[in-house]
């Protein structure tokens, strides 16, 4: 029998052989860094870490590593450079676009052991936390002091703060007024760069300065890492602006027959930029109830006058644009779940999210039109179109429920068409992730912008060890 190999096949064979040969040696080196109980290459753990919330194909790491400190992360990164091993970074695993799946095996860095609240500075209103701290843990501790961060994600309490910041997430809780994580309230980051150096950003980087403002000397380096999906550096600590808890709050719930009318409400709610009338404004239409839009609004104020003014304005504008007032307790319950958890959503089945991103304020209805066309085409009605407001725009999403494994291919077909059509309309996604995320829909379409990200990546990460294949592929022409 004659066996032939092309060059690429031979490289793959040699790489796999070398990796197998060095497995025990590399594991021992990792144990020296983080301790024996914090490294695993056991099959059952590798499989447990092989999925995020998306239907992407499971991807196995070679090692699960749980650092306990910035120094642990630094030494792990230095080892990865020495050994040319990829590192992928995971918070609580809540991404739904394959944002951390280890597509080139290697080390999967589980950041959840780095969960300390380092400082709550009540005088300067700054909280410093380790990147693996969850929003729930921080919010509970702030609440004891009558303070708050005033924002959360749909994944809410379970999400790590570092993961939220690095993907620039947000909403629906607090997004209408404060935008996304990183737009206003991230004051600085501590990061381990892909070559092992530790750097801080913002005022935090200046000698003898505390983190009190996001900008430091020169360009806004904090902003460079926010939304980077972890390809430029590993966040180990985050400094956040915190606030006193609002003393007054109210909830509104209206039903509309037209998304055009909902857009008019969103226009008024966010018109006074910097003093938005609504704290949270969340809207949805179920595929089983086409033409009925539920709008839930959270209003707060530091005094009764501000609260009354905002509530009166929003009630008047909802009524003016044909909204029917419903039970406000439903709105209150919705926003409470975002902060406290969403167990009943997952009890109902497996959810897949598609078409997630931001669009300009006035353009929302055309995405609803596309979604309606697609669900009619496929005749699949276990899904919802949702939107929540941020200053002068909307974050939109479609979540799709499936009950049986054999529905997976149909769900992926629906999701792919939604993503493709939404990108044709124009949308800024939460993140791109890997090749089973949103990369295929943007490949070759970002031009010089994509090339610039690649150049920054190549400069910071010459060995391409950090999140290779996520957000950008250095092999693209």
In the chain, the domains with their CATH numbers are: 113-244 (3.30.465.10), 248-429 (3.40.462.10)
- Give CA separation, 259 vs 293, 297, 316, 321, in Å: 7, 16, 17, 10
Q: What is the pTM of this model?
A: 0.91
The reported pLDDT for the residue numbered 88 is: 97
Mean pLDDT over each residue of the chain, to the nearest integer: 89
- Give CA separation, 56 vs 98, 99, 357, 420, in Å: 6, 10, 19, 17
pLDDT of residue 414 exceeding 80: yes
172: preceding bond cis by omega (within 30 degrees): yes
Query: 212-233: per-residue pLDDT in tens?
Result: 999 888 999 999 999 999 999 9
**Higher-pLDDT residue of 343, 18:** 343
Which of 142-151, 219-228, 402-411 ranks highest by mean pLDDT? 219-228
For residues 177-193, give the mean pLDDT.
89
Strand 107-110 relative to strand 324-325: parallel, antiparallel, unpaired?
unpaired
Distance separating alpha carbons of residues 38 and 53, to the nearest angstrom? 24
The reported pLDDT for the residue numbered 274 is: 87
What is the helix (H) or strand (E) element at residue 80, kind and residue range?
helix 70-83
pLDDT band, very low/low/confident/very high, at 341 (cuts 50, 70, 90): low
The reported pLDDT for the residue numbered 19 is: 55
The reported pLDDT for the residue numbered 52 is: 86
pLDDT band, very low/low/confident/very high, at 6 (cuts 50, 70, 90): very low
pLDDT of residue 16 exceeding 50: no
DSSP 171: B
For the purposes of burial, counting CB atoms within 10 Å of the CB of 27, is it exposed (0-12), middle (13-18) or buried (19 or more)? middle
Query: Any idea which of 105-119, 314-328, 401-415, 423-437 has the lowest mean pLDDT?
Result: 401-415
For 411, phi then psi, to 5°, come to -60, -45
Helix runs in 231-297, H state only: 259-271
Distance separating alpha carbons of residues 413 and 420, to the nearest angstrom? 11
Report the interhelical angle of 364-378 vs 408-425 (nearest 10°): 150
Distance separating alpha carbons of residues 476 and 8, to the nearest angstrom? 16
The reported pLDDT for the residue numbered 9 is: 37
pLDDT band, very low/low/confident/very high, at 402 (cuts 50, 70, 90): confident
- Rg (C-alpha) for the chain, rounded Å, is 23
pLDDT band, very low/low/confident/very high, at 334 (cuts 50, 70, 90): confident
The reported pLDDT for the residue numbered 169 is: 82
Distance separating alpha carbons of residues 82 and 411, to the nearest angstrom? 42
Task: Find, among 282, 230, 267, the residue nearest to 88 by Cα.
Answer: 230
């Amino acid at each position: 029998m004659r066996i032939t190999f092309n060059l690429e096949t031979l490289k793959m064979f040699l790489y796999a052989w070398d990796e197998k040969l060095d497995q025990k040696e590399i594991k021992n080196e990792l144990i020296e860094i983080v301790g024996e109980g914090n490294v695993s290459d056991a099959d059952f753990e590798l499989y447990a870490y092989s999925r995020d919330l998306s239907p992407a194909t499971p991807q196995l790491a070679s090692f699960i590593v749980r650092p306990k400190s910035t120094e642990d992360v630094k030494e792990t990164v230095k080892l990865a450079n020495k050994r040319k091993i990829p590192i992928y970074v995971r918070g609580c695993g809540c991404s739904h676009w394959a944002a951390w799946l280890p597509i080139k095996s290697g080390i999967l860095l589980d950041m959840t052991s780095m969960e300390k609240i380092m400082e709550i500075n009540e005088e300067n209103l700054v909280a410093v936390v380790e990147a693996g701290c969850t929003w729930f843990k921080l919010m509970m501790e702030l609440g004891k002091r009558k303070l708050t961060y005033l924002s959360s994600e749909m994944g809410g309490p379970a999400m790590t703060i570092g993961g939220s910041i690095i993907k620039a997430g947000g909403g629906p809780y607090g997004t209408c007024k404060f935008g996304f994580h990183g737009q206003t309230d991230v004051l600085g980051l501590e990061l381990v760069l892909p070559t092992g150096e530790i750097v801080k950003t913002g005022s935090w980087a200046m000698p003898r300065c505390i983190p009190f403002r996001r900008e430091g000397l020169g360009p806004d380096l904090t902003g460079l890492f926010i939304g980077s999906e972890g390809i430029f550096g590993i966040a180990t600590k985050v400094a956040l602006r915190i606030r006193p808890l609002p003393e007054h709050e109210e909830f509104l719930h209206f039903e509309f027959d037209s998304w055009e009318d909902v857009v008019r409400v969103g226009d008024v709610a966010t018109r006074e930029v910097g003093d938005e009338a609504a704290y949270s404004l969340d809207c949805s239409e179920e595929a089983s109830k086409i033409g009925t839009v539920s709008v839930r609004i959270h209003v707060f104020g530091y005094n009764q006058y501000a609260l009354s003014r905002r509530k009166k304005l929003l009630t008047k504008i909802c009524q003016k644009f044909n909204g029917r007032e419903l039970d406000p307790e439903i709105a209150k319950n919705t926003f409470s779940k975002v902060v406290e958890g969403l167990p009943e959503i997952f009890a109902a089945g497996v959810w897949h999210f598609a078409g997630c991103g931001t669009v300009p304020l006035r353009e929302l209805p055309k995405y609803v039109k596309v979604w309606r066309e697609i669900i009619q085409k496929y005749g699949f009605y276990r899904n919802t179109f949702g939107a929540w407001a941020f200053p002068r725009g909307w974050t939109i999403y479609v979540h799709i429920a499936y009950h049986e494994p054999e529905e997976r291919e149909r769900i992926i077909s629906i999701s792919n068409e939604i993503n493709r059509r939404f990108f044709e309309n124009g949308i800024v996604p939460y993140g791109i992730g890997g090749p089973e995320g949103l990369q295929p829909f943007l490949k070759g379409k970002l031009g010089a912008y994509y090339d610039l990200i690649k150049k920054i990546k190549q400069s910071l990460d010459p060995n391409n060890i950090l999140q290779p294949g996520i957000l950008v592929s250095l092999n693209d022409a």
